[in-house]
A and B are shown apart, each in its own frame.
Chain A
Amino acid sequence: MSQVIAKQSKPLPDAGLDKGVEGLTPEKIAKTLQAMLKAEGGARLAAYVNTCAHCGLCAQACHFCLSHDMDPAYSPAGKVKNTIAQVVKKKGKVDAGFIREAARIAYTECNLCKRCAMYCPFGVDVAYLMLVMRRMCHKLGVTPQYIQDTAHSHSVTANQMWVKQDEWVDTLFWQEEEAREEFEGLRIPLEKEGAQIMYSVIGPEPKFRAQLIYQAAALFHAAGLDWTMPATPGWDNSDMAMYTGDNEIMGRIKRAHYETAMRLRVQKIVMGECGHAFRSVHDMGNRWLGYKSSPVQVVHALEFYWELLRDGKLKLAKKYEKPVTLHDPCNVVRGRGLHEMARDVVRASCQTFIEMTPNREHNYCCAAGGGVINCGPPHKPTRVAGNRVKAEQLFRAKADGAQVVIAPCHNCHGGLEDIIHSYGLNLELKFLGDILYECMEKP
């Protein structure tokens, strides 16, 4: 099974990468990369690249490496060796073929999940190094076509999915109308200045997962919270520009998001079950804009659910019956330590909880994150073959009795869906919000 998938792993042509390198000359590359090294190649880059002892202990951390029988080209240090380390060593004097290959590695064979930072004795942050490589590729105009399209969408519309302004508002009205059939008096309050909470979502929710907005509205309604959603750009908390290396657009859209919350004078932003958006809002976008932490308090869905249950604001009518297991998304677990809260919510809402191993900070990535799934169909075989170890981990959880995988992150959802189907695991996949919505006391 895995062999069949591994054979497909040769990446298909990617217009963004192939066309992107066509116009590159060695002079142009050297000029761009040297300027980039001068402006942004800081102490961390130098220390990480020049101090790595080549010990290879990071290999055991990486799902790509583990899934390819420890092929060292997939190890974190191997990827560094074949990308950014060459740029530093050769002071930017690399050719177009190198850039094509470095882009393929940095964009599609690393999920920036930071698991390897926990296995390196020095704590070398390979995710950071891959982001520097991606930023160099971005500056050279060599980015995978699909994810570049989402960055364009961010630039034009301030959301990821080319959602038009009227479509956004219309979708919220539509979900409100639907939800009012089930919950009398439910509102999705738009533009309510001074509300306590601004709820923000990612572009794909109005685009094709509108029921998640419905479910969130149901939770807010049942808990009797004072909340609002913005009707203006700035409603989308997602950020693929962060992953293409386009920090300038990352900064613009994060500013739009924070300032929307400030304009609405809310006390905090509550976000849906998205990992990368959380990373962008609480860790990366704010840094780019010069905020040490997010200028408006940001609460991820996992923490939000946990608080609702702790405070008794959300009451459960029953417990979910099928045995569940929990996937720890990198951006909210290695990124924010929300794993125990997630477990509390799962235990409170499900009858049988089965841990997959490894778990918590040591969980294997979904192989979709870090923008990899957003690089689109050409690279799907790469991430599916590159995560055999996840399939095995899920299979063990299934052997222990799990029937449902809870993945509280959109990217993880997309990635695990492909893993589950490609490896024939036959497991159901759910958001934690799906479970809460199903089990809550409905007023």
Chain B
Amino acid sequence: MTAIYSIIAGPLMWAVFAVFVIGCIWRVASLAWTARKKDIAVYEYWSNRYAARSIAHWIVPFRSQSMRQNPATTTASFVFHITAIVTPLFLSAHILLFDEAFGISWPALPNAIADAFTILAIVSLAFLVGRRILVPGVRYLTTWGDFALLALVALPFVTGFWAYHLMPGAGWATILHILSGQALLVAIPFTRLSHMLLFFFMRGYIGSEFGGVRKAQDW
């Protein structure tokens, strides 16, 4: 197990970070390049002011009509996104690993809070899965790929929780935790999870168009 650990936490981790970073740059740059050639409007109409205005209305809970009409989904979605981003970035164990590797560290979340966030992430994700299955309009749109991505997102949280609480098989859970986290990082640039990056450009563009050309609100 130690041998596996040293490989996946060593060279594989480097490879994963490389694929993640280069993949993200490629994803945004290739779209930016295509837009330059075929959607020049995106550049012409882009407005930092209106892009920021639109993004601000959509990353703050309940500032859009759409969010107000769906309070449960909005709550679950925000809880999930916040905990899913904050927990891994501010987990003391992760920061410790970073400190060992690069000598860089930053303040960590208290472990009890990180633990609660993990549970919140899993519960809110379960809500989103349930919604996919139970709401006909969402089920109609859902593909197996969507479930696979949700599973991929859930796995690092479930295994992390398992390993942290030293439940039976915690050693293997740690291995699985690292591997699933790596799979998730690699998936981000190449799947629908790329909305993590593209959200800002898509929202920014439609915000620019609504603000600058249409002189109307888009929330």
Q: Which residues of A approach B to under 8 Å, CB–CB?
A: 39-44, 46-48, 50-57, 59-61, 65, 70, 72-73, 75, 77-78, 81, 117-125, 283, 287, 292-293, 333-337, 361-362
Q: Known contacts A41-B38, A123-B54; decide if A47 and B202 are in contact (CB<8 Å).
A: yes
B39, A57: Cβ atoms closer than 8 Å: no
The A interface is mostly helix, strand or loop, or mixed, namely helix
The B58-77 residues at the A interface (CB cut-off 8 A) are 58, 64-67, 69-70, 73
Q: Let me know if A73 and B140 touch, CB within 8 A.
A: yes
- Which single residue of chain B is at the shortest CB-CB distance from A339? B216
CA distance A59 to B69 in the complex (A): 12
Do A57 and B73 touch (CB < 8 A)? yes
**Which B158-207 residues have C-beta < 8 A from chain A?**
192, 194-195, 198-199, 201-203, 205-207
- A337–B34 contact, CB under 8 A? no
Query: What are the 10 tightest A-B residue pairs by CB atom distance, in nearest-first order?
Result: A42-B38, A123-B206, A337-B215, A72-B140, A43-B35, A54-B141, A56-B138, A119-B66, A42-B39, A43-B34
The residue in chain B whose Cβ has the minimal distance to the Cβ of A82 is B140
List of B residues within 8 angstroms of A121 by Cβ: 58, 64, 66-67, 199, 203
Distance between A116 CB and nearest chain B CB, rounded to angstroms: 10
In this complex, the interface size class of chain B, counting residues with CB under 8 Å from chain A, is 35 or more
Scoring B70, B137, B215, B219 by chain A CB atoms within 10 A of each residue's CB, the highest score goes to B137
B205→A123 contact, CB < 8 A = yes
CB closest chain-B residue, reference A123: B206
Check if B192 sits within 8 Å of A119, measured CB to CB.
Answer: no
Evaluate contact between A51 and B195: CB separation under 8 angstroms.
yes
B195: shortest Cβ distance to chain A, in Å? 5
Q: List 27 A-B contacts (CB under 8 A).
A: A39-B38, A41-B38, A42-B38, A43-B32, A43-B39, A47-B202, A50-B194, A51-B202, A54-B132, A54-B138, A54-B192, A56-B140, A59-B137, A60-B69, A70-B137, A72-B136, A72-B141, A77-B141, A118-B64, A118-B218, A122-B203, A123-B205, A123-B206, A283-B213, A335-B216, A361-B216, A361-B217
Q: List residues of chain A with CB within 8 A of the CB of B58.
A: 121, 123
- In the complex, what residue of chain A is closest to B200 when comparing beta carbons? A122
Chain A residue with the shortest CB-CB distance to B34 = A43
**Does B2 sit within 8 A of A, measured CB to CB?**
no
Instruction: State A403–B187 Cα separation when bound (angstroms).
Output: 57
A108 to B121, CA, bound (A): 42
CA A437 to CA B42, docked complex, whole Å = 42
| B143 contacts across to A, CB distance below 8 A | 54
User: Is A122 touching B199 in the complex (CB atoms < 8 A)?
Assistant: yes
**A283 CA to B209 CA, complexed, in Å:** 10
In angstroms, Cα B146 to Cα A59, docked, is 18
The reply to whether A287 and B31 contact each other, CB–CB distance below 8 Å, is no
Partner of A334, one of B198, B207, B216: B216
Whose C-beta in chain B lies nearest to the C-beta of A122? B202
With A44-B35, A53-B195, A125-B206 in contact, is A72–B137 under 8 Å at CB?
yes
A261 vs B66: C-alpha distance in the bound complex, in angstroms? Answer: 42
A-side contacts of B35, CB under 8 Å: 42-44
Whole-angstrom CA separation of A57 from B69 in the bound complex:
9
**Given A44-B42, A54-B141, A123-B207, is A117 in contact with B218 using a C-beta cutoff of 8 Å?**
yes
How far apart are B181's CB and chain A's nearest CB, in angstroms?
A: 21
Known: A43-B34, A43-B42, A48-B202. A81 touches B216 (CB 8 A): no
Bound-state CA distance A118–B138 (Å) is: 18
Check: B113 CB closer than 8 A to any chain A CB: no
Q: Is B100 an interface residue (CB 8 A)?
A: no
Question: In the complex the two chains form, is B192's CB within 8 Å of A51's CB?
Answer: yes
Interface residue B15 (Cβ < 8 Å from any Cβ of A): no
A50 partner residues in chain B, CB cutoff 8 A: 192, 194
Chain B residues lying within 8 Å of A70, measured Cβ to Cβ, are 136-137
CB <8 Å contact, A55 and B138: yes
| CB of B142 closer than 8 Å to a CB of A | yes
Quick check: A123 and B218 within 8 Å, CB to CB? yes
Report the Cα distance A57→B203, complex, angstroms.
Answer: 15
Interface membership of B3, Cβ < 8 A: no
Residues of chain B lying within 8 A (CB to CB) of residue A53: 146, 192, 195
**Which interface residue of B67, B203, B218 has the most chain A CB atoms within 10 A?**
B218
B1 interfacial contact with A, CB 8 Å: no
Cα separation A335 to B217 with both chains bound (whole Å): 10
Q: Is the CB of B66 within 8 A of A61?
A: yes
Cβ-defined contact, A123 with B214, below 8 A: no
B residues near A292, Cβ cutoff 8 Å: 44-45
| Chain B nearest Cβ from A400, distance in angstroms | 21
Contact A118 B65 (CB under 8 A): yes
State how many angstroms separate the Cβ of A188 from the closest Cβ of chain B: 31
In this complex, what residue of B is CB-closest to A60?
B69
Is there an interface contact between A336 and B214, defined as CB atoms closer than 8 Å? yes
Interface set, chain B 21-69, CB cutoff 8 A to A: 31-32, 34-35, 37-39, 41-42, 44-45, 54, 58, 64-67, 69
The interface residues of chain A lying within 8 Å CB-to-CB of B67 are: 121
Judge whether B201 and A47 touch: CB under 8 Å. yes
- In the bound complex, do residue B192 and residue A117 qualify as a contact, i.e. CB atoms below 8 Å apart? no
CB A37 to nearest CB in B, in angstroms, measures 10
Docked Cα-Cα span, A287 to B209, in Å, equals 13
* Complex Cα spacing A120 to B199, Å: 11
Q: Which residues of A contact B39 (CB under 8 A)?
A: 42-44
Asked if residues B137 and A56 are in contact (CB atoms below 8 Å), the reply is yes
User: In whole Å, how far is A92's beta carbon from the nearest beta carbon of chain B?
Assistant: 17
B85 sits at the interface (CB 8 A): no
Cα–Cα, bound, A48→B203 (Å): 11
Do A336 and B215 touch (CB < 8 A)?
yes
Bound-complex Cα distance A271 to B70 (A): 39
Pick from B34, B54, B64, B192: contact of A42, CB under 8 Å: B34
A41 and B69 CA atoms in complex are apart in Å by 33
Closest chain-B Cβ to A429's Cβ sits at a distance in Å of 24
